[in-house]
Amino acid sequence: MDEERNVQPDRGTRRKKKYKILWDRVIIALAALIVLIVGIVMLISALVGAIKGARSKDDSSSAVKANASAVSSQQDTPESAEPVDNSLFTVVIDAGHGGEDVGSTDFDGVRYEKEDCLRVAKLVEKYLKSMNVNVIMTRTEDVYVTLDDRCKIANDSNAVIFVSLHRNYYDGEAQGVEVWVHNERPENDTALAQNILDALKEVGVSQDRGVNFGYRGNEYVNYQVNRETNMPSCLVELGFMQDEQDNKLFDDNCDAYAKAIAEAIYKTAKERELVKNLS
């Protein structure tokens, strides 16, 4: 029995020691595992930070490039240029006179040229826009606009064609439609004037007074809107204010006249290749 007692305590002591050694190892292993996990997490965090930093730098660089591109584009585009969107080209339509400048009148003095000019100009604008043409108007209401300003509007617009619309005056008997072009007879300007005159004749006019050059009564000078605009231009006289037949034709055919002028403008831009790849 004594021997058994002596043996049993020895067994218990050894078993306790064994368990202690095992827990120490578990604790050491857990500590090592925790250190490893912490190390991996820190490594992953460092990699993620590096990637984000690289992306941020790329994004910043892209933003700088985009800004530079935008500034460059703004510098290349004239400040006065009108936005064209998806329009094929730009045309300036000039409604003659306006405001205190009434232009010509009928014999009774109750019909003003400025009103007829604006009426037909707005219709021309409508038809050109339906053809996907960008239109700039020198005036859209009854206001006075100087000839200098009309020319400036045209020259600042990047337009390919300028058309000034008027009604005619003569102290006596006269009737019919005529178109005026610079006295140097530029080919594009002359073609524009002829196309407009032909289109108006198809609608119906009292008389074809032809394409004329220079200024009424003096072929050695020019109308300012033909002289000081940088693109093909012409001045259209849509009948005489003092002629009853011309006034009736204007009133009856104003919409048709406007459509004819718009189509003639488009035709000229295409035929004279003022705009590339125009169908």
In the chain the beta strands, taken as DSSP E runs, fall at 90-95, 134-137, 161-168, 177-181, 208-213, 233-240
| Domain extent listing, the chain | 1-76, 90-271
CATH architecture for segment(s) 90-271: 3-Layer(aba) Sandwich (3.40)
Choose among 258, 237, 85, 236: nearest CA to 162. Answer: 236
Q: What is the DSSP string of 92-133?
A: EEEE--BTTB---B-TTS-SBHHHHHHHHHHHHHHHHHHTT-
pTM of the shown model: 0.70
- Token duo for residue 167: 């009604």
- Per-residue pLDDT of the chain (279 residues), as tens digits, is 333 333 334 334 333 444 445 666 666 777 777 767 766 766 665 554 544 444 433 443 333 333 333 333 332 333 333 444 689 999 999 999 999 999 999 999 999 999 999 999 999 999 999 999 999 999 999 999 999 999 999 999 999 999 999 999 988 889 999 999 999 999 999 999 999 999 999 999 999 999 999 999 999 999 999 999 999 999 999 999 999 999 999 999 999 999 999 999 999 999 999 998 887
Residue type for position 120:
V
